[in-house]
């Protein structure tokens, strides 16, 4: 009934419609996948991150805080213990490294004052020869009004060690969470008392 030219035209038309239908299905599938990925991304963005803290011997997993929650007393205590270890472990040759480690944990004003203080202290020590300082027996207590720490500074000078019991009060401020400061706490000031 149809001529061969007409049947070829209809066959081409059916093939084009089949291809268009295939493209339509593929396009709708990709749109659906993109929509699902967007919903999933929004859901995951709102979740608190999982923080992995690795020590030499173990790994600890805990849930971080994405929103502006106030850090708990335990968070502040752990932060201050880490800060004390960085701040009071000194070697005159490694002062720039100490300051670099303290940068994400301190406010710029405190870091500037600390730099001046360390330069002043280390100028006198350089003349004495071999000097280093570490800390031990760190105890931190935090309440709603203050953060106090008791620790022993162990000063080594030309091979001789001297233990200096020290108390310090810390002024801490809340800041944004960063990759290097997962708790969002910064030290803004330290008042140190040495018990001689």
- Domains detected in the chain: 69-194 (3.10.450.230)
Q: What's the pLDDT at 129?
A: 65
Q: What's the pLDDT at 34?
A: 96
Along the 196 residues of the chain, how does pLDDT read in single tens digits? 556 666 777 788 889 999 999 999 999 999 999 999 999 998 888 777 777 767 777 777 766 665 556 677 888 888 888 888 888 888 777 778 888 888 888 888 888 888 888 777 777 666 556 778 888 888 888 887 788 888 888 888 877 888 888 888 888 887 776 666 767 777 878 888 776 5
Q: What is the spatial distance between Cα 164 and Cα 52, in angstroms, rounded to a whole number?
A: 35
Q: What's the pLDDT at 124?
A: 65
pTM reported for the whole predicted model: 0.61
Residue 155 burial class via C-beta count within 10 angstroms: exposed 0-12, middle 13-18, buried 19 and up: middle
Q: What's the pLDDT at 114?
A: 84
Q: What's the pLDDT at 39?
A: 93
Q: What's the pLDDT at 126?
A: 61
CA–chain centroid gap for 152, Å, is 27
């Amino acid at each position: 009934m149809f001529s061969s030219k007409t049947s070829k035209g209809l066959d081409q038309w059916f093939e084009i419609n089949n291809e268009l239908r295939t493209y339509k299905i593929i396009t709708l599938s990709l749109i659906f996948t993109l929509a699902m990925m967007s919903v999933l991304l929004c859901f995951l963005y709102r979740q608190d991150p999982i923080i992995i803290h690795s020590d030499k011997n173990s790994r600890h997993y805990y849930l971080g805080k994405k929103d502006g929650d106030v850090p708990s007393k335990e968070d502040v205590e752990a932060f201050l213990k880490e800060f004390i270890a960085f701040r009071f472990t000194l070697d005159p040759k490694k002062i720039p490294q100490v300051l670099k480690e303290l940068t994400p944990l301190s406010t710029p004003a405190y870091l500037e004052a600390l730099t001046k203080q360390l330069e002043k202290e280390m100028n006198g020590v350089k003349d004495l020869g071999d000097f280093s300082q570490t800390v031990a027996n760190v105890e931190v207590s935090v309440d709603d009004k203050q953060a106090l720490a008791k620790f022993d500074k162990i000063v080594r000078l030309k091979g001789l060690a001297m233990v200096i019991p020290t108390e310090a009060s810390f002024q801490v401020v809340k800041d944004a969470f960063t990759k290097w400061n997962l708790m969002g706490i910064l030290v803004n000031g330290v008042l140190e008392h040495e018990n001689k």
